[in-house]
Structure 1
């Protein structure tokens, strides 16, 4: 019985922490005037929804893309490209995912965003791994 209570409390705390994080990101989006911070918050918010609410994730990704392009937030746009690829991958559109991962790598190389480039290659590696192309994944 104690194990069930502990499991319940842990689950409740985890869900509560996630909701708090989402609320915090929404608050940042509403109050900040800094476009870079806003795009970053949208990217993080989209990430929170990618795995459990695809409609909400897609809605946020579309807003993120528009804002990043409109305000010329290149780093945020690069993060968006990787997130959009992950969205497609999670939802079973692996060919579309690969296209976005490749765009993310090319964009990060062009803009010298080494961390984003590494993320893109990691995503391409996971794509290849999931396709059973283990040598390519390496």
Structure 2
């Protein structure tokens, strides 16, 4: 609490200093920079004031033909709209800033804006537009040798391709990401890469390969002491064993199906323990729902072989866990 109070006091001092400097400033580029900084400082707590400062900055910067000031004002305006949930307006302002920075041959600035625009399009579900902007940003960052951001884009593009159902492309980019983070000795990044590869293998119905990657991810997160991340991998391993159980049930191999189903439930229980530690309500709801689905799989397995008593037991368990998930989400 003391830290947050000190931080607020520091922010107020910054704003006070900027506003006093603004009163003394001339109608020149320095005033544009001050107006932009004030807009930036107010972006969270007072978006209307932030917009007012930035719009005033734009008017003066245009009068002075101060292109950098115009580009910065548009960029900050986009950030304000993004923070406050106005994605379409944010895209508009980022595009305006991109065009200005392009005219200034600010390659790094253009790459950053293309990435921001891509993020917004992805959030809006316009994956084609998101991909177009990400790929343009990637090319520019490769040109200027911005290796750290190139690696991050490999990850973002992989996730986007996965969401688009383009699993081979997703796999190519996440493998590039994995190679880069492994070379940098980034174990967190490597673990995240293994998890994504596991997810992609699941989509391709390559369940044993997926399991292997999940296990590698889990081992790394355990070494790093990442408890919350472990719960995600354990949940994914539960999904994996359930999918494999269904596969064996369809082959009429009841014993293997039941064994795999129990393995899934064991993984889910381990995920639950960790998610309770963190009071992760969304995670708990997800895992309760997955356990319910797992018991429904048991229902189907037992129905196939006429084991009515076990069908009823599994069905009751499924309903119980679905209700627990529903209690959290309502």
* TM norm structure 1: 0.82
CA separation of 1:54/1:104 partners in 2, compared to 1, >3 Å: closer, same or farther? same
Output the CA distance in 1 between the equivalents of 2:8 and 2:108: 30
Equivalence for 1:89 = 82
RMSD (CA atoms): 2.1
The aligned counterpart of 1:102 is: 95
Answer whether contact 1:36 1:76 (CA < 8 A) is retained: yes
One of 91, 94, 117 as aligned partner of 1:124: 117
2:3 matched to which residue of 1? 10
8 Å Cα contact 2:70/2:100 also seen in 1: no
SS of equivalent to 2:91? helix
Alignment of 1:57-76 (within 5 A): 57-76=50-69
In the alignment, structure 1 segments of 5+ residues that lack a partner are 1-6
Displacement of 1:119 in angstroms is 3.2
CA distance in 2, matches of 1:113, 1:69: 19
Q: Hey, which bits of structure 1, 4+ residues long, moved more than 6 A?
A: none
Q: 1:112 — aligned with what?
A: 105
* 1:3 match: none
**Does the CA contact (< 8 Å) of 1:75 and 1:113 recur in 2?**
no
* CA displacement, residues 29-57 of structure 1 (integer Å, 9 cap, x when unaligned): 22233722211111111011121112211
2: distance between equivalents of 1:82 and 1:41?
15
Alignment TM-score, normalising by the size of structure 2: 0.37
Structure 2, unaligned runs of 5 or more: 135-156, 158-330
* Higher radius of gyration, 1 or 2: 2
